Amino acid sequence: MDAYSHPEDRRVQVSIEASDFSCEGLVHLPGIRLSDLMNESNRFLVVIDAVILWRRVGTAEQTPVRHKTIFVNKDEIKYVVPIDDRHVSRL
């Protein structure tokens, strides 16, 4: 274990609703709860293995776009929902 590891490090699958899009992906929780991560002073939430659903104005259509890593501005987030506990994984 190195200085950046913690025995409780894990990745959690989440669904995020933001101002212009929604997305799903993994969020790294370095020995803390998801609510603690959201309350940290960092402006961005890092999401890996992300699928973004862009909304087209005036339609219900969503176009999925995959990315290895995205940085979501916390000020744009409406809510974050952990997707069921079976998707929680240890690093």
d(CA 43, CA 38): 9
Closest CA to 85 of 46, 38, 29, 41: 29
Tens-level pLDDT at each residue, the chain (91 residues): 444 555 567 889 999 999 888 999 999 988 888 999 999 999 999 999 999 987 666 666 667 889 999 999 999 999 999 985 554 555 4
pLDDT at site 2: 46
**Tell me, which fold does domain 9-82 have in CATH?**
SH3 type barrels. (2.30.30)
pLDDT at site 91: 46
CB 88 within 8 A of CB 33: no
pLDDT at site 43: 96
CB 72 within 8 A of CB 50: no
